[in-house]
A and B are shown apart, each in its own frame.
Chain A
Amino acid sequence: MSLGSKKLQTGSFVHHLTSRSRRGSKLRRTVIAGLMLTSMVDMFSLLVIFLLQSFSNSPEVVTLQKGLVLPSAMSTSASKDAPVLAVSNEDVILDQINFGNASIVAKNPTALAKKLFEIKQSWETAHPNEEFAGDIHLQADKGLPSSLVTQFVQVLVNQGFSSVNLAVVGASR
């Protein structure tokens, strides 16, 4: 299936190209490159197989906040569909609402606690016959002091979110 210049039955087309080239510049060499179709199809097939293997059809429930560097871990579990609290060096963001600087919010978490309570109440209204599981995602920057992150975990637990999913980037062994 090789379409190299030798096997390709280009005939008059090659003749046309070479004669045109000679007409333009007698000194310039004519280069006619043939496409190696077998290799190309092999490469395409390998690419498709690789991409199919890494394909995931599960919906992305956690979107990474800008400027936030997550820690990496090997023993991770799949993300659940739950609200996301993002804590970075600058901001604390819950449900697209920015609550301000992390250390200030940790000292006075009233607004954050109120929003968490609203989320819990809306969930309970939407699921009247189910028990509240208390799932929430916590995205925290890996450079933050662990005591600061623990303060946010305490706030979450106090508002009934006892199952905290610490978001991490999956690392291979």
Chain B
Amino acid sequence: MGVSVNQGQGGKRSLDAELNLVPFIDLLSMCICFLLMTAVWLEIGAIQIHQLFGSKPAAADEKKTVEVKIRWLSESKLLAEFVRDGQVVQQFEATGATPVEMKASLDTHMNQVIGPLGFAGADGLEMIGKVHSNSRISYGDVISVLDVLKSFGVGSLALLPEEG
């Protein structure tokens, strides 16, 4: 298992060299040990929210933004409203008995609404997501809604208190 450099014909050294396996396996084992010890198995990321309390955007900017307001009507139904220049231009209700179904429903509706309206930056529009929390809705469900909004290019997100 060592290096073998055969003597070729006429006293010349052969180019066929065997790999020194013992140090090679040692090196690989050490690499595996180091990488296993330093591996990060749980990747913690972040969803950034910018709370907009008290700060009113400039009038010129206001025209270029579309607000996506989301609030829960019940535990299995949420209402999404697209507000432009203070007027609701589009709205839909997403329903789902489980968080997965709700997320899928929201995803489908967002696809239908955002596609034809061309909100995703084509007209220079900026989308602002405002999600109203609800005492009956868990934080995990709110995060899944924020995740869907972010995946559709909603740049600025805000988590607001319960309405009413």
A residues apposed to B, CB below 8 Å: 1, 3, 37, 40-41, 44-45, 47-48, 51-52, 54-56, 60, 62, 64, 70-80, 137, 140-151, 153-154, 157, 162-170
Q: B interface, by DSSP: helix, strand, loop or mixed?
A: mixed
Contact with A along B123-152 (1 / 0, CB 8 A): 000000000011111111111101100110
Q: Are B28 and A144 within 8 A (Cβ)?
A: no
* A48 lies within 8 A of B32 (CB): yes
Is the Cβ of A147 less than 8 Å from the Cβ of B35? no
**Do A51 and B146 contact each other (CB < 8 Å), given the known contacts A147-B134, A164-B51, A166-B47?**
no
State the B residues within 8 Å of A (CB): 1, 21, 24-25, 28-29, 31-32, 35-36, 38-40, 42-51, 53, 133-144, 146-147, 150-151, 159-162
14 contacts between A and B (CB under 8 A): A44-B28, A44-B32, A55-B38, A60-B44, A62-B46, A77-B47, A78-B45, A140-B139, A141-B139, A142-B143, A143-B140, A146-B133, A168-B45, A168-B47
Cα distance A71–B140 in the bound complex, in angstroms: 5
Q: Which 8 A-B pairs have the closest CB atoms?
A: A76-B45, A142-B140, A51-B35, A165-B46, A146-B133, A75-B150, A71-B143, A73-B147
Contact of A166 among B24, B40, B46, B53 (CB under 8 A): B46
Q: Which of B42, B49, B137 has the most CB of A within 10 A?
A: B49
Indicate if the CB atoms of A77 and B46 lie closer than 8 Å: yes
When the two chains form their complex, are residues B162 and A150 in contact, meaning their CB atoms are under 8 A apart? Answer: yes
A17 to B21 Cα, complex, angstroms: 25
Residues of A within 8 A of B48 (CB): 77, 163-166
B31:A145 contact, CB within 8 angstroms: no
Known A-B contacts A73-B47, A150-B161, A150-B162; A145 and B135 likewise in contact (beta carbons under 8 Å): yes
- What residues of A have a CB within 8 angstroms of the CB of B45 in the complex? 73, 76-79, 167-170
CA of A40 to CA of B140, assembled, Å? 44
Starting from the known contacts A145-B139, A166-B47, 11 additional A-B residue pairs (CB-CB under 8 Å) come to: A37-B21, A60-B44, A73-B146, A75-B47, A79-B44, A147-B134, A154-B161, A162-B51, A164-B51, A166-B48, A166-B143
User: In the complex the two chains form, what is the Cα distance from A166 to B159 in whole Å?
Assistant: 10
A88 CB, nearest partner CB in chain B, Å: 11
User: Contact at B139–A71, with CB atoms within 8 Å?
Assistant: yes
Query: Are A167 and B46 in contact (CB-based, < 8 A)?
Result: yes
In the bound complex, residues from chain A placing their C-beta under 8 Å from that of B49 are 153, 163-166
Establish whether residues B133 and A54, one from each chain, have CB atoms under 8 Å apart when the complex forms: no
Measured CB to CB, the closest approach of chain A to B110, in angstroms, equals: 13
